[in-house]
Amino acid sequence: MSDAGWLPCSDRSLERGDPLSGTAGFGTRWFLVEIDGAWGTHAILQSALDPAVARALVTRVEAAGMRPLAIRRTGRRADERRGQSTWRWAVVDARAGSESVVWGAVHDPAELLEVPLDGSTGISSDESVICVCTHARHDQCCAVKGRPVVAALARALPRNTWECSHLGGDRFAATMIVFPHGLHFGRMPAAAAVGIVQAYVAGAIDPRYFRGRSSVPNLVQAAEAFARATTGDDRVGSFPHGTVRAGDETGRWSVAFDHDGAPLTVEVAQRMSEPLLSTCGATVAAAVREFALVEVRER
């Protein structure tokens, strides 16, 4: 890191022009748990939670096909973080047509192991949940670029805003996911963050920073981005349920959407990038998947 030519992974990604579209980490259902204090490389396993409880919780959540995510409020002083007495949790369904958030809390962390993961208990909420990755132990870019973003959001939307653990895509820091729709954003400047969330609340997606929706595969995420760019349609729910048609030997795939009752097909080419270092800690360059638009057919 002391080499004169070294750059953080997010700066290298921006310099290369790595595409954002189709890079969102997958997750149809999520379990959020509030954990104050410091997080280790694995935020839940290396935290204020008892290690045995933490391991059992992660195992239970992942066995249910859900993604665990640690969250905490930003800007708390050390004395405010000390002695956490209530552990808030949320069950989030990010699937199209099933979007929901249910909140609850326990006083003993061991009780997290008894929380139903189907959202059948707790209090339903129709408020957005904004999670910005500030997971420094996972990658320094997440902390350096995430903290100004979460600070700006917390000033404007304190009830909705949380710091969170690793979301994936360190090279796209600052990264954010907005629930219940599970929309991933990247390369977010602090000055634009509040506007991006306000647009979401109003039912629109800012395409400049959009990586994709967590509940669909990366190929469909990329196809949706190309469809949005072609049609100019920025509504959150305007391209539901993309159906993938088999690819061919050239690496081309077709994704069919129902766009306001009319068929729309996006043909996408899948390719591998030149070898790159995708995180600040990476030491071996590896190629990553990228997608290119071939054609959009509005028929």
Q: In the structure, what pLDDT confidence band is assigned to residue 128 with cuts at 50, 70 and 90? A: very high
- Of 159, 56, 50, the closest CA to residue 113 belongs to 56
Mean pLDDT, residues 66-81: 77
Instruction: Give the bridge partners for 87, in sequence order.
Output: 106
pLDDT digits (tens, 9 = 90+) for 215-270: 999 999 999 999 999 999 999 999 987 788 877 777 799 999 999 999 999 999 99
Report domain extents, the chain.
29-201, 217-297
pLDDT digits (tens, 9 = 90+) for 32-73: 999 999 999 899 999 999 999 999 999 999 999 999 999 999
Specify the higher pLDDT residue, 136 or 213: 213
* Topology of the domain covering 29-201: Glutaredoxin (3.40.30)
Q: In the structure, what pLDDT confidence band is assigned to residue 109 with cuts at 50, 70 and 90? A: very high
- pLDDT value at 77 more than 60: no
The predicted pLDDT at position 3 comes to 55
φ, ψ of residue 223 to 5 degrees: the values are: -60, -40
The predicted pLDDT at position 282 comes to 80
pLDDT digits (tens, 9 = 90+) for 139-159: 677 788 889 999 999 999 999
CA distances, 23 to each of 105, 125, 269 (Å): 32, 28, 15
Mean pLDDT, residues 281-289: 88
φ, ψ of residue 101 to 5 degrees: the values are: -135, 130
